[in-house]
């Protein structure tokens, strides 16, 4: 089987749902922009050389429906022969798209592909616009449709993750992200055009465009005292709050993936290889434990141990589930390797985009620090976990 090389991995900023810089920016515009930017940042690559584009999206409907993976390719100016598709594995959709695109390279079906992810939680809310759970099945298995916040409460209760520890974890995420933002370490971000509608004196609105170049959900002023004052959101006497949960966010991210043949023909220096990817199921009512099972499965496939991994990106859907997974896996002795520039509590979790976003962040940090192996992992709504192993190229 051939190697799959990631030569470019970029993302838009992540911006707060309904309040952030992208609240008036259609999702197709976010995705088409970052697709174009990825090609522009890959020397010698012509859009017509790309065989296929696979885009992850957790709620592919309304403005991000009608196969947004193909529509955005067209908006971005790729020629007609470049195909596109949309894939949905909820929170790992972006990583799933990258993995499927890489597999086409690995099995010799393509030489150049693009994988990525998109979510505008402003335009398409959590759960979609018209949720219709199966009426009989919900009586037998209501856990399959449970609120993600309640699954976080279940993890906290079943595995004794305290409110204090959750808030401490959330605080550290905000502080790491604040530091990285101040030091301009998010070099995977491409300044992205954003739309806003400005009220005019005559009562009409004027459409304006501006560049957004930072994640606007980071709260530099976060304190432990402030986090402690927040009320539980999902249970009357619970411990999961808005402060120790991931932010709902808008954003897009993509990676350009090539065979060794294409890399040599274009004279490129790839960043990393996608070596392994795996998924696993778990109980739906505690879906946050997914990485605790996906990561060992991944490491067994690769013949590695946690000691071999130099950097980790473990999605912070909720502090309770991230802490549980870290502790159960014995990763708490390597906290300085985990989410080194903050995680989704500070930066946001744009659902279908997150897997692609974490890929761009992880590869950027692996290259900056010269780390050979990096892993990204996340829990997935419905009761799953996913994990991928990347190897830095010399």
Is 91 one of the annotated active-site residues of the chain?
yes
Give me the pLDDT at residue 66, please: 97
Distance CA 66, CA 21 (A): 25
Give me the pLDDT at residue 226, please: 98
Catalytic option among 91, 282, 353, 359: 91
The 3-state DSSP class for residue 172 equals: helix
Gyration radius of the chain's alpha carbons: 20
Could you give phi then psi for residue 200, rounded to 5 degrees?
-100, 165
pTM: 0.97
Is 379 one of the annotated active-site residues of the chain?
yes
Strands 311-314 and 373-380: parallel
Catalytic option among 15, 282, 359, 379: 379
Give me the pLDDT at residue 144, please: 86
How remote is the C-alpha of 4 from its chain's centroid? 20
Ranges of residues in the chain whose predicted pLDDT is under 70: none
Q: Could you tell me the two tokens for 213?
A: 């170049």
Is 393 one of the annotated active-site residues of the chain?
no
H or E stretch at 225:
helix 224-228
Biggest CA-to-CA distance, the chain: 67
Could you give phi then psi for residue 205, rounded to 5 degrees?
-115, 140
CA-based nearest residue to 115, from 86, 82, 76, 90: 86
Q: Could you tell me the two tokens for 67?
A: 């196969």
Long-range contacts of 132-138 (CB under 8 A, 24+ apart): none
DSSP string computed for 229-257: TPPBSSSTT---BSTTBPPPEEEEEEEEE
252: β partners: 118
């Amino acid at each position: 089987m051939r190697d799959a090389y990631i030569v470019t991995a970029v993302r838009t900023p992540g911006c707060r749902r309904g309040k952030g810089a992208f609240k008036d920016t259609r999702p197709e515009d976010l995705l088409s922009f970052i697709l174009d930017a990825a090609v522009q940042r890959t020397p010698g690559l012509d859009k017509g050389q790309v065989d296929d584009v696979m885009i992850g999206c957790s709620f592919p409907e309304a403005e991000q429906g009608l196969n947004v993976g193909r529509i955005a390719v067209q908006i971005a100016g790729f020629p007609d022969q470049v195909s596109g598709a949309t894939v949905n594995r909820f929170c790992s959709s972006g990583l799933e798209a990258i993995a499927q695109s890489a597999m086409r390279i690995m099995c010799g079906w393509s030489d150049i592909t693009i994988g990525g992810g998109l979510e505008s939680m402003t335009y398409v809310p959590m759960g979609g616009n018209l949720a219709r759970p199966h009426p009989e099945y919900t009586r037998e298995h209501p856990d399959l449709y449970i609120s993600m916040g309640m699954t976080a409460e279940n993890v906290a209760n079943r595995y004794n993750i305290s409110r204090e520890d959750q808030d401490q974890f959330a605080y550290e995420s905000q502080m790491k992200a604040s530091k990285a933002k101040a030091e301009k370490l998010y070099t995977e971000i491409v300044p992205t055009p954003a739309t806003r509608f400005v009220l005019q004196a005559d009562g009409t609105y004027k459409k304006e465009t501006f560049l957004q170049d930072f994640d606007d959900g980071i709260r530099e002023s976060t304190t432990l005292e402030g986090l402690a004052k927040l009320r539980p959101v999902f249970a009357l006497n619970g411990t999961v709050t808005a402060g120790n949960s991931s932010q709902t966010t808008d954003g897009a991210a993509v990676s350009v993936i090539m065979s060794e043949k294409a890399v040599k023909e274009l004279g490129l220096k790839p960043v990393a290889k996608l070596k392994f990817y795996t998924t696993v199921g778990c109980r739906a009512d505690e879906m946050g434990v997914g990485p605790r099972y996906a990561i060992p499965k991944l490491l067994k496939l690769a013949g590695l141990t946690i000691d071999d991994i130099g950097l980790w990106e473990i999605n912070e859907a909720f502090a309770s589930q991230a802490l549980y997974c870290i502790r159960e896996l014995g990763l708490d002795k390597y906290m300085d390797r985990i989410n080194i520039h903050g995680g989704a509590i500070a930066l946001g979790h744009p659902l279908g985009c997150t897997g692609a976003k974490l890929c761009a962040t992880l590869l950027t940090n692996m290259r900056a620090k010269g780390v050979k192996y990096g892993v990204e992992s996340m829990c997935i709504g419905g009761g799953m976990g996913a994990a991928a192993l990347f190897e830095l190229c010399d």
